[in-house]
Structure 1
Amino acid sequence: MGTGDPKSLIAQYQEYLEAFVLRARRVEEHSLAADWDALVELAEIQIQVTPLGNGEMLIKHQYPAEEVVESAAARLRPILLEGDACFYQKALKALGYFCRSLPQDGEWIRSARREWRTRVAPTTGEEAGYWIMVSNTATGEDHNLDRHLLTMAWIYGDVVHHDTARRQEADPFGLVDRFRAAVPLIAWAMIGTIELLNFTRVLQEAGHITLSEKVFEESVALKSTTWEEKAKVYFAPVGSEPPTAATTPFPEQWAQLDSAADVSIFRTTSGVQLLRTDDQAAEQSPSDGPEADRDAG
């Protein structure tokens, strides 16, 4: 892309923002974002300390189930990756361009950039919040790792990849410490993402940017995974030529399925029935009937 071509630059920045909006809306739909106050609380390092009366303290950490945070991390991951079109900083850069004549909005963008870098990409252990030191009394080995590196080990070693180097580096600390480090970062990254999404919506409504309305409206996450729909079903002998397109007529070998009696013959070679009627009490076992010699279309 030639940086001297304003039209190309605008098109590229619109592409970044539209990609960000789609992915950010999917993050917004995650269950962790349903309770905003709880998400904000989760973004801070929360440790409950109870004195035991003998000089010791009972320290308690309480977080959502790992698979819940894991799914949030999976939705967030492209926003964390510099190479992806929806990368958070690419969206900020694009908005900075479009808001270059809007001082107040420009300041918000610069502030968001600084906070994102500090919270999501810290460069020191101090910025990361804390670090952990462990010693192996049997081998004499000492290890220390900051919270950010433990977080990256959980995301890229335990969850979305199997990064061997990250896993080896963080292995002495165990899965618990990797997960505990990751939760506040994942929660804060969700907050930052949703806030930038809302800022983008405001700019769109004000006419400062003109993104495709489709990216604000199209479905980005399933609300339900149970559906009922009326349809016509066709079948043919195995090996029959399929239709060439969705709107072309079925070849002559194909017949319409139109009765419960027809439904009962749809079985695979392993005995699994492909179709059944609502009034069937139970599926037949593989020995209850002949294997199907026809396939559903």
Structure 2
Amino acid sequence: MVVENNRQAEVDALSQRALEAFVVRARRVEEHSLAADWDALVALTTMQMTMVQLDDGETLIRQVFPDEETVESAAARIRPILLEGDSCFYQKALKALGYFCRELPQDAAWIRATRSEWRSRVSPATPDEAGYWVAVSNTLTGQNYDLDRHKLAMAWIYGDVVHHDTTRRDEGNAFGLFERFRGAVPLVAWAMVGAIELLNYIRALHADGVLQLRQEVLDQPVALKSTTWEHSAQLYFAPVGTQAPKDASLPPSKDWIQLGRTADLSGFRTEAGGQLLRPVRSTNMPELPSPEEVEAARTPAGGWKRDQLAAWGIPWPPPKGWKDELATRWKAEQRAGVEPTNPAPSPDPGPVQGTLDFD
């Protein structure tokens, strides 16, 4: 009885780890920009196309996909869920879910159907299951090639994106990069849909008390909302070779000088001989406008001219949230004591200005 209880405890723990690993990764997939529009993501899983009959009897076929870089980043996020050896592998999570729902017939039936669908969509056994295949002929050499959609997708994912698998690249090379990408889009999209749907099913079972996941697995950050790093701290400097502090909770030794308004750091050099501090703004960096200056630069139509945005370092077309990003950077410079374009005279020298140079 003791042995049996220990064995069940081991299976419980193993299944719990598989579910929690999947939840963390699936939540990161859920945060991807492609998943922001659920209907559009689902549409990508199908072969949606427009066809126009031309006068010469041929048919013009057109498909529109997201840009490759967006799909590439989605493929990177979903890839561990596709790999059998990874802790967050989809089928491991599904097996663990089946273990916890073994006495719940309705949930067990859903899990069996989901497993079958995943296998047919993500790991098709035949070209027919893959959805379509492409055949091309080289009129110069007389060679013929054919490859199904799944193999074309794998050639893009593992030959062009997350690895440089030469075997897969050689296999898909005759079809070209776009054909490999075209095969990969529905696979990546469907894997995202499947992962998010399983994630939501797990959430529902957790809410019903069938599963007892650790709350941090459901709450911990899994994707960055902002890539502006800002942190208040005390900075200390010491000559190269000075022993670094071993305990972050204790103040450093007397050999370390705290950076402050009156600190003299002119004698400090890096190993390469460069000056430790350099001016915050190089001569090539654009002047950051204040939020008021941004608003004042609007055109009569309510927008901004391309050359004005370029002067502020903003690409065209301007990305979403560019005004907030400019305002954040401008405010950070004000807090750091960087003088604005037209500074008001002040007797206060302000904080020490400079950025760290670790060259």
The TM-score normalised by the length of structure 1 is 0.89
| 1:91 pairs with one of 90, 93, 106 | 93
For residues 18 and 71 of structure 2, what CA distance do their matches in structure 1 show? 26
User: Is 1:18 equivalent to 2:11 in the alignment?
Assistant: no
Partner of 1:215: 217
Equivalent of residue 123 in structure 2, options 121, 124, 128: 121
Would the aligned equivalents of 1:237 and 1:295 in 2 still touch at CA under 8 Å? no
Counterpart for residue 183 of structure 2: 181
Q: CA deviation at 1:124?
A: 0.7
CA 1:264–1:92: 2 relative to 1, 3 Å: farther
Match of 1:236 in 2: 238
Partner of 1:286 in structure 2?
Answer: none
Give, in whole Å, the separation in 2 of the partners of 1:41 and 1:266. 59
Residues 1:169 and 2:171 are matched in the alignment:
yes
| Distance of aligned partners of 1:147 and 1:119 in 2 relative to their CA distance in 1, 3 Å threshold | same
1:1-297 correspondence runs (5 A): 5-259=7-261, 269=273, 273=277, 276=280, 277-279=336-338
Q: CA RMSD in A?
A: 2.5
Residues 216/143 of structure 1: CA separation in 2 closer, same or farther (3 Å cut): same
Offset of 1:248 from its aligned partner?
2.3
Give the % identical residues: 58
- Structure of higher CA gyration radius: 2
**Higher RCO (Cα < 8 Å, 6 or more apart):** 1
Give the unaligned 5+ runs of structure 2.
281-335, 342-353
CA contact (8 A) 1:20 1:88 kept: yes
Q: CA deviation at 1:266?
A: 7.6
Count matched residues: 285
Distance 1:137 1:99, change over 3 A: same
CA–CA distance in 2 between the matches of 1:227 and 1:95? 38
AA matched with 2:258: Q
* Distance in 2 of aligned mates of 1:264 and 1:73: 49
Query: Do the aligned residues in 1 keep the contact of 2:277 with 2:357 (CA within 8 Å)?
Result: no
Q: Does the CA contact (< 8 Å) of 1:264 and 1:275 recur in 2?
A: no
The 2-side partners of 1:295 and 1:272 are apart by 6
**Equivalent residue letter for 1:279:** V
Moved over 2 A (4+): 260-278
Q: 1:270 & 1:22 partners in 2: Cα distance?
A: 43
- Structure 1 unaligned segments of length 5 or more: list them: 283-291
Taking structure 2 as the reference length, the TM-score comes to 0.74
Q: Is the 8 A contact 1:96 1:106 kept in 2?
A: yes
Q: Deviations over 1:162-213 (max 9, x none)?
A: 1111111111001000000000110010000000000000111111111211
* 8 Å CA contact retained: 2:268, 2:275: no
Shift, 1:228, TM fit: 2.5
